[in-house]
Structure 1
Amino acid sequence: MMLAQNLPWVPLLVPDMPSPETLLPWLERMHAARHYSNFGPLVQELEYSFAQKFGLEPEQVTTVANATQGLELALQALELPPGSRVLVPALTFVATATAVVRAGHVPVLADVDAATWLLTPEIARSACTRMCINAVLPVATFGMPHGMQAWQQFEQVTGLPVIIDAAAAYGSQWLQGAEGTLVFSLHATKSLPAGEGGLVVSTRPGLAAKVRQLSNFGINLDPATTLPVGTLASLGTNAKMSEYHAAIGLASLQKWELHAQQRQALQADLMQELQQASRYPLAWQAKGPGGPLQAPTLLCMRLPDESVRATVEHACQQARVMTRRWYQPLLPHMAVLQQRCLVLDTPDAQLLGQTLLGLPFFLGMTQPQRQRVLSVITSQ
C-alpha cells in the first residue's frame, strides 16, 4: 500500500471552467468584433441572458469585475451618509465586511441562525432595537438562498435598504417575485464561473444603472442627461467586466443546468456517505426560507465540538486530504477589522466558527479521492 506521504493531495476545490475548445467560438467572436472591454457585445449578451433569467428589464442588471466591487458599488449607489452602520453576519467571508469599510461605512457584526447559518430578518430587527442601523447586508451563506419576501417586508417596515451578498448563490438565490438587490460572484470556484466577475441584480430604481456608471469611473455615458457625455458624474472606479470573462461566462451558462444537477447529486451522495462513516454525529446546514441549494459549490459539515474538529483536521492532514475552516477566524476576531467594526452578541456564530469544517468537493472527484476522504472519517 502506498504511504500517505507519497499520495497526491485531495484538493479542496477544483474550478469547473470551460475547456479551451468550448471557449474558442466565443473568443473568435470577440476577436472578430475587436471589442475587448468597455461594455462589449459579449458583456451585453451575458447581461441580457441574466435579465431574462431573473425576469427583469436589462437596465436592472449589470456585470462587474468581481462581486466584491459589486458590493462596494451597490453600497455607494445607495448614497448613505458617510460612516453609516451596515449590519453584516459575523460568519462570512472577509469581503462582505471589507466592502462596507471601503464604501466608507461601519460594519456591525451580528449573529446568524443556528440551523440555516443565515443572518435573518428577525436577527436584523433585534439589532435595530439595540442600535442605529442604516442598511443590512445579509449573506447567502455557502450559497443557501434567503426568502426575499421576508426581506422585502423588512425594508418596507423599517425603511432600511437591504443588499444580499449572494456571492456563492447563483442559481439558488432568486428574487422570488419580491423586490430586492442581489450581488453574485462569477469567480472560478463558483457555480457559474467566468474566471473573475460579478453580477448585480436590483429592482431598486436606478441602482443597477448607477453601479454600471460607477464601474466605468463614474463617467456619464447617457446623452439624455443634462451632463455632457464623458463628464465625471460621480467618483467611481474601474470595475467593468472584460469581454474575455464574459466569453467564459457565456460558455459556462450553456452547461449550467447539467453541472448544477451533478453538483446536487455529488453533495447528496457525499453527505450520506459521511453520515454513515462517522462515529461522531454530523450536522449540516439546514434548508433556508429561500428553498434548497440548486448548485452547491462546497461541502461543509459541523462537528460536535472544537476538539473533535481538531482531531479530524489532523487525520485529514496525515492522509493528505485538504480541509478549510469556513470562515475562520470569524470577523470579530480579525485584528484589521476590530477597530473598524461594531460587534453585537454572536453566540451561534461563535459556536459555528468552532465546529465547521470544509471537506473536498468538486465535479470530477474520482472514486479513490472520495474513498480517501471517507476513510479518514471512518478511522476517527
Structure 2
Amino acid sequence: MSKQTTASDWVPLLVPDMPSPQVLMPWLERMHAARHYSNFGPLVRELEAEFAQRFDVPAEGLTTVANATLGLELVLQALAMPRGSRILLPAFTFVATATAVVRAGHVPVLTDVDPSTWMLTPELARAACAETHIDAVLPVATFGMPQDMQAWQLFERETGLPVVIDAAAGYGSQWLQGAHGTLVFSMHATKSLPAGEGGLVVSTRPGLAARVRQLSNFGINLDPASHLPVGALACIGSNAKLSEYHAAIGLASLQVWEAHAFQRRLLQSELVNELDKICDQQLSWQTPGPGGVLQAPSLLCVRVPDENVRISLERCCNQARIMVRRWYQPLLQYMPELSASVVTLNTKNSQLLAKTLLGLPFFLGINQEQRQLILNAVQRAWRECTG
C-alpha cells in the first residue's frame, strides 16, 4: 500500500502484487497489433515456452488454463477414470480442491494431514488406501509448501494410482524434482506468480497436458493428423483457455519473480522472528518437508497453542482494524454444500489445525506502521492469555 494507515483504514490481509499498467504496456501493444486476444495466441505461447524452459519439460508437457480450479477439473477428466471414482485429498485445504473433484463427477475422500507440514503425505495416503478403496490421489502443496515428488512417484509406481498435485500456491517452490508427476498451479492475483487469473498444468504423463489443452478448448480437435476433421468435437470439454490479457500479466510478473520472491522470504522471516520474540517462542509455523522449502510465501499463517488464544488474537486484531482469516475453517466435511458429497476418514490433525491457525496480514509493501499495529495486537492477545 502506498498511503499511510489512518484511523479509518483496516490493515488488509492480502494485497495483490500485480504489474502496473505502464509495465504491461509493451505486451498489450503487441497483443493489440496482432489482434489476437484468446485461442492460444502468441503471448500465451510465449508464456508457455517460458514455463517449459523453467520446468525442463517439452512444450507438449504443459498447458495454460483459465484458472487452477478448472485445471484440476480438466486433469481429472483427462485421466478418463470411471464416473464416481474415489479421489483422496486432504480435509485441510481450500474448497476448490474438493469442488473440482465433484464437478469432474467423482467422490472426494477426505483424510488427514501431517501435523508439522500440514500436508497429505504418501505415508498418510498409504494408510488411507489400506482403510478404503481409492482410485486417485490429489495431494496439496499447502500454502505453497512443496510436496516430495520423488516420494509421490514411488507411491504411484507401487500402487498404480494416479497422483495429481494441487500446487495452486506453489509456483516457484513446487517443481518436478527430477520425478514423473503432474502439477497444477494458480496464477490468481494473490499467488506468487500473479496474472489476475490463470492456471498452469505441468505433466510428464504422456498425452495428459495435450488432452487438457483440448478439453480447455471445448474438446475441439485442432490436430490435422487426427482421424477427425479439424474443428470437429473430439470430446466434451469446457471453455478454459488463458486469454492474451492474462498471459501479458503473467509475462510481466515472470520478469520480477525472483526479486519479489526474495522480498517475500525476507518479509516472512522478519515477521516470524518478531512474532516469536513477542510470544516467547511459543508459536508454531509450517515446517518444510522432504520436498524442500517455501521459496515465495504468499500468506502468513501462525499456529497458536489453543483455540482460546486464537479467539483472543482475532478480537485484538479486530479492535485494531487488522484483517485476519481462519485457514481452513470450517473443514470440507463440515460445509453443508459438500458434506453429502464426501467420504471422511480420520482427520484429527486437520481438526486441531482448523482450531488453532490464523492468517495474519502479509503482502509486499506492508509499511512499518502496519507491521507495528500487528505486533501490538499479537502482544496484547498473548498477554491476555498468558498473564
Q: Same fold (TM over 0.5)?
A: yes
Task: Report what 1:16 is aligned to.
Answer: 17
Task: Report what 1:187 is aligned to.
Answer: 188
Task: Report what 1:153 is aligned to.
Answer: 154
Q: Residue 6 of structure 1: CA displacement?
A: 2.8
Classify the secondary structure of the residue corresponding to 1:6. Answer: coil
Amino acid at match of 1:270: L
Q: Provide the rounded CA distance (Å) in 1 between the counterparts of 2:297 and 2:172.
A: 9
Q: Provide the rounded CA distance (Å) in 2 between the counterparts of 1:208 and 1:5.
A: 49
Task: Please show how residues 157-236 of structure 1 align to structure 2 within 5 Å.
Answer: 157-236=158-237
TM norm structure 1: 0.98
Classify the secondary structure of the residue corresponding to 1:375. Answer: helix
Q: Provide the rounded CA distance (Å) in 1 between the counterparts of 2:106 and 2:195.
A: 29
Classify the secondary structure of the residue corresponding to 1:300. Answer: strand
Structure 1: segments with no counterpart, 5+ residues: none
Conserved? CA contact 1:74–1:207, under 8 Å = yes
Classify the secondary structure of the residue corresponding to 2:373. Answer: helix
4+ runs deviating over 6 angstroms: none
Deviations for 1:284-305, whole angstroms, at most 9, x for unmatched residues? 0001211100000000000111
Deviations for 1:5-64, whole angstroms, at most 9, x for unmatched residues? 934100000000000100000000000000000000000000000000000000101000
Task: Report what 1:364 is aligned to.
Answer: 365
Task: Report what 1:77 is aligned to.
Answer: 78
Q: Residue 65 of structure 1: CA displacement?
A: 0.2
Classify the secondary structure of the residue corresponding to 2:268. Answer: helix
Is 1:247–2:242 an aligned residue pair? no
Q: Provide the rounded CA distance (Å) in 2 between the counterparts of 1:283 and 1:275.
A: 9
Mean CA deviation greater in 43-52 or 278-287: 278-287
Amino acid at match of 1:46: L
Q: 1:56 to 1:5 in 2, by over 3 A?
A: closer
Conserved? CA contact 1:188–1:194, under 8 Å = yes
Task: Please show how residues 23-172 of structure 1 align to structure 2 within 5 Å.
Answer: 23-172=24-173
Task: Report what 1:314 is aligned to.
Answer: 315
Deviations for 1:250-306, whole angstroms, at most 9, x for unmatched residues? 000000000000000000000000111125820000012111000000000001111
Amino acid at match of 2:145: M
Task: Report what 1:347 is aligned to.
Answer: 348
Quick one: percent identity of the two aligned structures? Answer: 70
Q: Provide the rounded CA distance (Å) in 2 between the counterparts of 1:78 and 1:245.
A: 27
Deviations for 1:137-178, whole angstroms, at most 9, x for unmatched residues? 000000000110000000000000000000000000000000
Q: Provide the rounded CA distance (Å) in 2 between the counterparts of 1:199 and 1:339.
A: 30
Conserved? CA contact 1:280–1:304, under 8 Å = no
Conserved? CA contact 1:5–1:320, under 8 Å = no
Amino acid at match of 2:296: A
Task: Report what 1:291 is aligned to.
Answer: 292
Q: Provide the rounded CA distance (Å) in 2 between the counterparts of 1:242 and 1:92.
A: 28
Classify the secondary structure of the residue corresponding to 2:232. Answer: coil
Amino acid at match of 2:107: V
Q: Provide the rounded CA distance (Å) in 2 between the counterparts of 1:321 and 1:7.
A: 11
Q: Provide the rounded CA distance (Å) in 1 between the counterparts of 2:201 and 2:176.
A: 12
Classify the secondary structure of the residue corresponding to 1:39. Answer: coil
Classify the secondary structure of the residue corresponding to 2:64. Answer: strand
Task: Report what 2:385 is aligned to.
Answer: none
Conserved? CA contact 1:87–1:133, under 8 Å = yes
Q: How many residues align?
A: 377
